Structure 1
């Protein structure tokens, strides 16, 4: 059964502001996998569960047409309302009922969203719209981000571990103890013989400390805490921010830190027609 989250206007706007885009290194991995299996001109890419479109836009230079889909009207409104490449558009749609004809997509991807889908139905739908030789690419990351800042890296990560542990009780039971395990099960369910499972790609990204805190606050575990006890959730966030600043010897949340995001991903190619 599909899970529905991130659908409110305020959450969609914070998603746009704080969620990180997949690194170019990872997009290149997807494109290299695809191009090694098809000689055709790359026509259509479909980004399922696109949210506010950070990852969708990265596909624009490589395909004639890119369409981001999401079940949330608020997310689609935010994605459509921001400046985007002329060959990119957004459509409201559940992942299990994609608004495309059979055998039309060169790439079907989902970036940090496939864990919420009804996996059997989504995989069947992705197979339906993919061209023979087309690529399915499911990307996500673990929540145990690491921080690096001068000589205080070790202390920062101790504090972050406490932050993540405090949010763990509010994690959606649907996800179990690890979203990585959810994706491993999706990988096992993919029926294509040509498929790859990549467990960890460590990618650094620089952002202000406020951006890191905002990023964590977009996650369903924090949102669950916020819904249950908004005062305590905000107090936790502020306490963690203050402790991180103290450990950094900094006074402003505009101070930039390096955030290590640990990506994992599934790549699979639909068989060519014999």
Structure 2
């Protein structure tokens, strides 16, 4: 990987607890793969797998699934929560994968490819994919998440925008964006490929869970490193404003979180 930001055990635990699992995206990936071969595939690799939420979703469709990441802490968390016998994990950079050439049926990167070396990673993808193998890159913008809660929805999203505006100056230059992924799509030499700039995925979360997820973002963690007291104050203020807009007192009150995914799928000739 070109960038290393998610490597302490505390962050890995929060990542596992609060980050959303992309079930809808796995369905899209498998729909793209299956027209060429109606069978169970051999090997899937989830690059930049983090704590493995997306990795395990691939297990029913492949004989072997390997999650790779540069972070030992993230991989420890993934392995500790791995209940799938056909899922294993390996520590390595995204640009130096421990697989033979033409070996991999699916190479996926779920909310991770924006951290990779954009010159070396595509070459490594092309090396390890089998002919007919597929590449799937997906992500979402951290400042394009929405909340829904009845008549309070509009007010909640104004509060979210206030939060995202505070965090934007602390975003890493390589933070996920649809523009970056569209550039990866357009530069991909494979002729059979698909782009989708907006797939809405909804989950029921609590107010506290939403705040917990925000606190896993790289921009929030950068703010926290610069000003821990200010970061905590921001979290507390946003939580209180959300509760006030919802007219509830408990931070365990449930609401709907909407994440807008974008993704590219491509098949190696």
Instruction: Tell me the TM-score normalized by structure 1.
Output: 0.95
**Aligned residue in 2 for 1:185:** 183
- Given that 2:40 and 2:61 are in contact with CA atoms closer than 8 Å, whether structure 1 keeps it comes out as no
Contact 1:133–1:270 under 8 Å retained in 2: yes
Residues in 1 aligned to 2:82 and 2:33: alpha-carbon distance in whole angstroms: 27
Question: Could you tell me how far apart the structure 1 residues matched to 2:222 and 2:107 are?
Answer: 30
Quote the residue 1:232 is aligned against: 230
Per-residue CA deviation, residues 161-204 of structure 1 (Å, 9 max, x unaligned), is 000001001001234xx611111111122111111111000111
Contact 1:159 1:244 in 2 (8 A): yes
Shift of the alpha carbon at 1:82?
1.3
Contact 1:204 1:259 in 2 (8 A): yes
Secondary structure in 2 matching 1:59: helix
**What residue is the counterpart of 2:244 in the other structure?**
246
The residue that corresponds to 2:203 in the other structure is 205
Partner of 1:28: 27
Gaps of 5+ in 1: none
Q: Measure the CA separation in 2 of the matches of 1:111 and 1:74.
A: 18
The answer for the alignment partner of 1:157 in structure 2 is 157
Q: CA deviation at 1:209?
A: 1.1
Q: CA separation in 1, counterparts of 2:174 and 2:55?
A: 26
- Alignment match, 1:85: 84
Q: Which residue of 2 is the match for residue 96 of structure 1?
A: 95
RMSD, aligned CA: 1.2
1:116-155 → structure 2 map (5 Å cutoff): 116-143=115-142, 144-155=144-155
CA distance in 2, matches of 1:57, 1:63: 10
Shift of 1:50: 0.1
Q: Secondary structure at the match of 1:211?
A: helix
**Runs in 1 of length 4+ with deviation above 2 angstroms?**
37-41
Measured after TM superposition, the shift of residue 26 of structure 1 is 1.8
- Deviation readout 1:189-239 (Å, 9 max, x if unpaired): 211111111100011111111111111111111011000000001100100
* Secondary structure of 2:122 counterpart: helix
More deviation in 117-126 or 259-268? 117-126
1:13-46, Cα deviation, whole Å (9 max, x unpaired): 11111111103x3211110111123456400000
Structure 2 length-normalised TM: 0.97
Q: Which runs of 5+ in 2 are unaligned?
A: none
How many residues are matched? 268
Deviation per residue, 1:81-119 (Å, 9 max, x gap): 114211111110100000011111110000000000002
**Range 49-58 or range 115-124, more displaced:** 115-124
Given that 1:37 and 1:269 are in contact with CA atoms closer than 8 Å, whether structure 2 keeps it comes out as no
Which has the larger strand fraction?
A: 2
1:7 matched residue in structure 2: 7
1:119 aligned counterpart, secondary structure = coil
